[in-house]
Structure 1
């Protein structure tokens, strides 16, 4: 079985997070360390279940039994041992090798943006790379994944001769990997919380995100959408259902979403979901779409810029086995490319890209206008008048079912004609009738 190993220090005042003591005091610094460790272990528990791997704590500063009483009796806890950090990490690797573990992911507790979804992501990357590193903005790294099946004891050398707690830690580890002939896959750069100037990262990471999913007979896809949303920390998922009769509600509740009822219509459903939300960030996701791993930190970071009024993800069309035909796959890639060009250069994302914005901004704008079509474009235009509309490089995957049913060319032409007609002043109700007449697609999402 694969394993996640968390290195955790006992939260003793005066010895934990010492660089934060000038800002928080000894007790405040140790309390922050305690809360960050608890957050990390909560994330590891969820991520390990997603990846179907075991988890282990390597403790220091107190005996393992006290750690179990603190963080959970179900946890496997071992003392880190003596020596510098490299020696202690090498020991954890040797123990894993001896016990037949194939893949190991070593993490610390200093990076609050490391969501549960990082764990299955790293384990998948280790199918193709011997080493995976999550670089930290201070020059270190927040996680290191190793495929022990291909590297064996050779990987132990990654921890030798490294300048620990230095801005050179990450570079030195990469250099060591190259000298060992080990290719390294890199994760996004995230920020540790070690210094007073890093406290903003902790405050930002704790902002709650409410993911609102409008549905109408989405049983076949809503579970996947919900699971992707729950791959982040401090998230709630609200499914706003418009009267499904196919088991969508039951599937959503089984996955951990809260379901609210609404009159039919995407705008009305999203507004009802937003009213029920408790987060100060709202993210609107279609029921046939999947959020990117690590989306939580990206969303929070973008919205920490007060100049940004609304954000969206880049688009990629195609889920599962929808793109088996090479010609159709090429068409979807072309459509995705031009959708992203439109989104970035014209600041005009569409709703299938997953909108996110602060709750206060959403309600100041009046929410989604309850119109039968183009409610997403209308909201974007309103948001662009009060701030910047931005598109993240991270990709949201959405189903190709619309393009499959009508054909790529016909669907794209219809969408273009609808936007052109709206720009000429034709009412959304007339456009909606045109849309329905030319489409067999149904559903609130």
Structure 2
């Protein structure tokens, strides 16, 4: 029996520069401080990704926005071993779907996990749990306290699905994202496995629980 391919961990990252990230947070604490928060969150996410790469649990694809890939390459010493790509244009859903498709080039049954860089309490165990569940689940979601999700995982069985249904015309940033995603998944015959709830760092109130 051939061994299943290891998952690709897609990290959707935004360049942590003042005025280019964390705009909701910047309204309360200023653009420079918001960029520092983004930089710390991104570095934490990359450290988790690198640790999993070293253990052979994932390969990593970092999808950047807010900067050209040529400029982002100057940041390589801070990146985990990865494939560095541009997120491209379009809605968040279009950009996520594009990265999933890129990760599966030549390996259509490859499991893919998509995360952002907004979790101060992201742990290796969170991603290991998702990897384990994807061995026999086609869809894994990590619910966020704001009604969205912090992780989306697609197993090998998802390759035959019309995945654009999970992303198209989604009210991104609203408190209905998880609810709509689960409803659309059920229409595709899927019952998503949900991980534990987490809280993204998006606004001032979210910082209260983060030990700075």
Q: Report the TM-score when normalising by structure 2.
A: 0.89
Deviation sequence 1:150-184 (CA, Å, 0-9, x none) = 11152332111211111111111111111111121
* 1:183 maps to 2:191: yes
Conserved 8 A contact 2:47-2:80: no
Verify the 8 A CA contact 2:49 2:80 in the aligned structure 1.
no
1:22: Cα distance to partner? Answer: 2.9
1:138 aligns with 2:146: yes
Q: Does 1:36 align with 2:41?
A: yes
C-alpha distance 51-141 of structure 1, shift in aligned 2 (>3 A): farther
Q: Deviations over 1:31-55 (max 9, x none)?
A: 1111111111111111343452201
Runs of 4+ in 1 over 3 A off after TM superposition: 48-51
How is 1:33-432 mapped onto 2 (pairs within 5 angstroms)?
A: 33-50=38-55, 52-70=57-75, 71-72=78-79, 74-100=81-107, 102-147=110-155, 149-152=156-159, 154=161, 155-203=163-211
SS at match of 1:5: strand
Counterpart-to-counterpart distance in 1, 2:140 and 2:29: 34
- Residues in 2 aligned to 1:171 and 1:48: alpha-carbon distance in whole angstroms: 32
Larger relative contact order (Cα-Cα within 8 Å, sequence gap ≥ 6): 2
Q: CA deviation at 1:95?
A: 1.6
Question: 1:161 is paired with a residue of what secondary structure?
Answer: coil
SS at structure 1 position matched to 2:154? strand
Determine helix, strand or coil for the equivalent of 2:62.
strand
Change (3 A) 1:173 1:51: farther
Q: C-alpha distance in 2, partners of 1:182/1:145?
A: 13
Q: Does 1:18 align with 2:23?
A: yes
Whole-angstrom distance in 2 between the partners of 1:51 and 1:146? 19
Q: Once the two structures are superposed, what CA deviation does each residue of 1:125-164 show, in whole Å capped at 9, x if it has no partner?
A: 01121101000101111111101x2111523321112111
Distance 1:99 1:161 in 2: 28
Cα offset for 1:73? 7.4
Distance in 2 between the 1:198 and 1:80 partners?
Answer: 26
**Structure 1: distance between partners of 2:80 and 2:140:** 30
* Structure of larger gyration radius: 1
Q: Which of the pair is proportionally richer in helix?
A: 1
Per-residue deviation at 1:23?
A: 2.6
Gaps of 5+ in 2: none
TM-score, normalising length from structure 1?
Answer: 0.44
Inter-partner Cα distance in structure 2 for 1:122 and 1:61: 28
What SS does the corresponding residue of 1:102 show, helix, strand or coil? coil
Mapped to 2, the partners of 1:51 and 1:130 lie a distance apart of: 21
CA apart distance, 1:24: 1.6
Deviation sequence 1:332-369 (CA, Å, 0-9, x none): xxxxxxxxxxxxxxxxxxxxxxxxxxxxxxxxxxxxxx
